[in-house]
Structure 1
Amino acid sequence: MKVTEKIERANANGRYFWSFEYFPPKTESGAVNLFERMERMKSLGPEFIDVTWGAGGSSSEETIKCVTTSQVAIGLETSMHLTCTNMPLEKLDWALERCKEIGIRNILALRGDAPRGVETWTASEGGFSNAIDLVKYIREKHGDWFCIGVAGYPEGHIENNDKEAEFAHFIQKAKLADYVVTQLFYEPDLFLSWYNRVRAAGIEIPILPGIMPIQTYAGFQRLIGREKTFVPAEVLAALEAVKDDDFAVREYGVKLAVEMCEKLKAGGHKGFHFYTMNLEKSVRQILQGVGFVSAAVATANTEE
């Protein structure tokens, strides 16, 4: 089923909904652990999950294995990321045909990051320069078979200092897409302001805010440094006070995510996308804290 069909059904029933993101592990044992985790987290009731595509297709085979297992064996509605980075047409065609064979109807179309160690992103010969080109190509080749999502950037894309031009580019992209998943953020007011501006520009497709639970202090610092993410002063101060206690950092991360979700709910949002980082405990606690699942469901069959 298409992601948009599942969202429409949730909206028709007047209920909240959520989705999870995973990335393909690099080892066989890692894959086994991930699939077991996906199986357990299925009980949390995600409308869909998505699986990332490594920069330059570096994990393409692993991604295909992951989406095959999640879609076919585990029975999770799956969306596969697909990027432009180092992706000539023949590799794009291969990936899309594999999705059709598996029965995957959902693609998150992205430009993608530069491969590790490469500072400047460049298009591959015969490939595409941005997600707009990729979406147009998928539509041209496959009609309406795929439900196509795109990325949204509430704080603007870090590579474009012209925020007005970046926003206009996003609106052009969103007009071609079926739904939007946003980059992570830690200030709900920034998201809500951006969301209202997007709606005012005539975009009516579903927009899912991306929630990234904080797991460790060092990982959080690397993340916000790389993504240039704005973090409120009170959040930075709270984390600074517990930075040497991993358990306390994670507990604060859960508390912050619950508060963010509550503020987004108050702003009228019913759908949420969680960047799991292939972990489950924090996501379980957040879903329980927001009231999306019961304590019994949140604590069942947990391993982590």
Structure 2
Amino acid sequence: MPRIDELLAAGTTFSFEFFPPQTDAGERKLRDTLNELEPLGPSFVSVTYGAGGSTRERTHQIVVDMLERTTMTPMAHLTAVCHTRDELAAILARYRDAGVQNLLALRGDAPRDVAPFWELERAVDLVELAREVGGGQFAVGVAAHPEGHPASHDLTDDRRHLATKLAAADFGVTQFFFTVEDYLDMVEQLAGLGCDTPVVPGVMPVTNLRQIERFAELSGAVFPADLARRLHAVEDRPDEVARIGTEVATELCQRLLDAGAPGLHFYTLNSSTATREIYANLGLPVAG
């Protein structure tokens, strides 16, 4: 399986993100979604990691199953929160021994109802541990926030820390956002700091208004007022909400590609419909 840094060096990437389901019905839905999206030939796919390691085994199993049973290149998320250094090293060793080559290293947010701790205090510390354990096997990515991390003091401070983190990593993937200028400004500011590590923009099509508003609030992403008004006007018609959300996401994706973004990373929420529609709208090739 290829490394993501090699894929990015070869050209534009298109990738999908999934989360480990917690029920039998959710597992069936994820299997269906994977079967529906595999023919699109994604460059890679990622699997998230639950707060505090709550999905440790499910994340590992899904990633390894993808590696062994599908044509897709998996990337495993890993967070440092609520893990000791030794625990993280053991998780990384399991991925190494299973042949996984791609990781997203995250500091991680505090889980609910659990006192959080970070033995590795920064995402860059986890990147360095992955280098040590992987012995050069892993391509390691980190997260980026076009509008600034919610915990940052200001945008200047955020960009300085992000540039340091990206310098240790092979690539970045952004939190979802809605305004293309936020992403382009981030890339320009990083370049001004001497950082040229590729950062793939993350896109989350609006298919559920209340859900996306909650996600935006938690992540610190700004939900544009004009888009909110359009969607609230039709919130009693879910099909129309999804249609507008897909239309807006398609426009954002096209503008990002036109501006030279190194790829597109779709937050699928374990559903294939919006991603397949955006692929068709953009005229992207389908495998086979």
Relative to the length of structure 2, the TM-score reads 0.94
| Structure 1 position 79 matched with structure 2 position 80 | no
Deviation at 1:270, TM superposition (A): 4.4
Matches within 5 A, 1:130-145: 130-145=122-137
Asked whether the 8 Å contact 1:38–1:70 carries over to 2, the reply is no
Name the CA distance, whole Å, in 2 between partners of 1:159 and 1:204: 24
Deviation at 1:89, TM superposition (A): 2.1
| Structure 1 position 122 matched with structure 2 position 117 | yes
Partner amino acid, structure 2, of 1:209: P
Matches within 5 A, 1:92-171: 92-117=88-113, 122-123=117-118, 127-171=119-163
The equivalent of 1:30 in structure 2 is: 26
Name the CA distance, whole Å, in 1 between partners of 2:32 and 2:65: 11
Deviation at 1:96, TM superposition (A): 0.9
Partner amino acid, structure 1, of 2:88: L
Partner amino acid, structure 2, of 1:280: S
Deviation string, structure 1 residues 163-200 (Cα, Å, up to 9, x no partner): 32222111110000000000110111111111111122
Deviation at 1:145, TM superposition (A): 1.2
Deviation at 1:208, TM superposition (A): 0.4
The equivalent of 2:212 in structure 1 is: 220
The equivalent of 2:185 in structure 1 is: 193
Asked whether the 8 Å contact 2:149–2:158 carries over to 1, the reply is yes
Name the CA distance, whole Å, in 1 between partners of 2:89 and 2:28: 28
Instruction: Select which of 37, 41, 44 maps to 1:48.
Output: 44
Deviation at 1:90, TM superposition (A): 2.6
Name the CA distance, whole Å, in 2 between partners of 1:89 and 1:258: 41
Segments of 5+ residues of structure 2 without an aligned counterpart are: none
Matched residue SS, 1:128: coil
Percentage identity across aligned positions? 34
Asked whether the 8 Å contact 1:187–1:231 carries over to 2, the reply is no
Segments of 5+ residues of structure 1 without an aligned counterpart are: 298-304
Matches within 5 A, 1:258-277: 258-277=250-269
Partner amino acid, structure 2, of 1:63: T
Give the direction of change, closer, same or farther, for the CA distance of 1:34–1:151 in structure 2 (3 Å limit).
Answer: same
State the structure with bigger RCO (CA 8 A, min sep 6), 1 or 2. 2
Deviation at 1:153, TM superposition (A): 0.8
Deviation at 1:121, TM superposition (A): 5.2
Deviation at 1:25, TM superposition (A): 0.6
The equivalent of 1:62 in structure 2 is: 58
Matches within 5 A, 1:274-293: 274-293=266-285
Matched residue SS, 1:129: coil
Asked whether the 8 Å contact 1:35–1:70 carries over to 2, the reply is no
| Structure 1 position 252 matched with structure 2 position 244 | yes
Name the CA distance, whole Å, in 2 between partners of 1:254 and 1:166: 30
Give the aligned length. Answer: 287
Name the CA distance, whole Å, in 1 between partners of 2:217 and 2:32: 32
Give the direction of change, closer, same or farther, for the CA distance of 1:170–1:247 in structure 2 (3 Å limit).
Answer: same
Give the direction of change, closer, same or farther, for the CA distance of 1:32–1:86 in structure 2 (3 Å limit).
Answer: same
